Amino acid sequence: MPADAFIHHMPKAELHIHLEGAIEPATLLRLAERNRVALPADTVDGLQAWFTFHDFPHFVEIYLTIQSCLRSADDFSLVAYELGADMARQNIRYREATVTPYTHLLQEKGLAAEEIIAGLEDGRRRARRDFGVELRWILDIHRNLTMPAVANVTTQLALDWVDRGVVALGLSGNEATASAAHFAPWFQRAKAAGLASTPHTGEIAGPSSVWQAVHDLHADRIGHGVRSIEDPHLLAYLLEHQIPLEINPTSNVCLGVYRSLEQHPFIHLLRMGLCVTVNSDDPPLFNTTLTQEFQRLAETFDLDENDLQALTLNAVRSTFLPADEKRQMEEEFVRQIESYREPLS
């Protein structure tokens, strides 16, 4: 079977995608109209052109503009539902999406934290009903905001919302702004209460940031972690403990971590036996989808059906679902893949 067809049929799980960064231009237009926010363009094409990221300040500008369009529970419900509709289109059965609540509260748009989770919960429920897909949330501390209030509020919300789909505490933003170790007390608190830890590290900063994630934040997964390739001891540690890496290839190229996909360490990490997963990060901003990430990797690195199956099963095993639900999902994925893949020769 051609790789594209195999990838299209393959059931998928995605672990690293940002709610705000996944909003499609058409949805953003709806939100902007609803909330009377002026956007740089008023058509899907115009917005797509503006969306296509060209440097980091532009990326931040797009992000803040998107956030300013989310103002009510209904808005959060809409974008959560759209995330589910996109899953159905790409045969993604399960997604853990990152939400950054504090930056919404900081924008002083009169939004209460309760409205955020009520909207997310409504969208998640409607997506399950209409598309049969499952969503969970990772609440994210933005490391550019180093004041303790940000980490305090985010961690407390994550703990309060465990029974509304929150599974982990994350850490994003510019790694140059604050070290991962700075956030250790909050991650300790989250872990002690049963939440998982999945900080962004080893993307802009080098291996030392991944070591901090492992030692100080007790990371269960690493967001990105690609620069672990620069430290053989770290690679050995990640291999031994099978700590999954959430790799976002196109995002890494767009943000200049690697000059091209050919130069990306993906294939080395995979062949070394690390638990590598494939993700899309902020798909419309990087002009990609999860399906396209798999396609680009398959083409660039000549991945075969065994590789693709291993990658999709890595994602299932790396979810923050209870063990029995993971096992069930893995069995279901294997059954489906075996129903259409060519017999092993």
Q: Which residues are catalytic?
A: 203
Q: What's the token pair of residue 287?
A: 């002009």
| CB atoms near residue 10 (< 10 Å) | 22
Of 93 and 143, the one with the shorter C-beta distance to Zn ion is: 143
**Residue 281 CB, nearest approach to Zn ion (Å):** 5
Of 117 and 255, the one with the shorter C-beta distance to Zn ion is: 255
> Total residues contacting Zn ion (rule CB under 5 A)?
1
Of 175 and 281, the one with the shorter C-beta distance to Zn ion is: 281
Of 140 and 216, the one with the shorter C-beta distance to Zn ion is: 140
Of 72 and 197, the one with the shorter C-beta distance to Zn ion is: 197
CA distances from 256 to 53, 199, 200, 268, 336 (A): 12, 20, 16, 19, 37
**Residue 251 CB, nearest approach to Zn ion (Å):** 7
Of 75 and 281, the one with the shorter C-beta distance to Zn ion is: 281
Question: Going residue by residue from 305 to 334, which x/- string records binding to Zn ion, judged by CB under 5 A?
Answer: ------------------------------
Q: Which residue has the closest beta carbon to Zn ion?
A: 281
| Burial class (CB within 10 angstroms; exposed 0-12, middle 13-18, buried 19+) of 288 | buried
**Residue 46 CB, nearest approach to Zn ion (Å):** 26
**Residue 150 CB, nearest approach to Zn ion (Å):** 17
Cα angle: 34, vertex 24, 326; to 5 degrees = 115
Separation of alpha carbons 121 and 273, rounded Å = 37
Amino acid symbol at 305: E
**Residue 328 CB, nearest approach to Zn ion (Å):** 28
Separation of alpha carbons 108 and 92, rounded Å = 34
**Residue 293 CB, nearest approach to Zn ion (Å):** 13
Of 71 and 95, the one with the shorter C-beta distance to Zn ion is: 95
Question: Going residue by residue from 52 to 91, which x/- string records binding to Zn ion, judged by CB under 5 A?
Answer: ----------------------------------------
| CB atoms near residue 36 (< 10 Å) | 8
Q: Are 15 and 277 in contact, with CB atoms under 8 Å apart?
A: yes
**Residue 134 CB, nearest approach to Zn ion (Å):** 20
Question: Going residue by residue from 151 to 180, which x/- string records binding to Zn ion, judged by CB under 5 A?
Answer: ------------------------------
Q: What's the token pair of residue 19?
A: 């709610």
Interacting positions 239-298 with Zn ion (CB under 5 A): 281
Positions that interact with Zn ion (CB under 5 A): 281
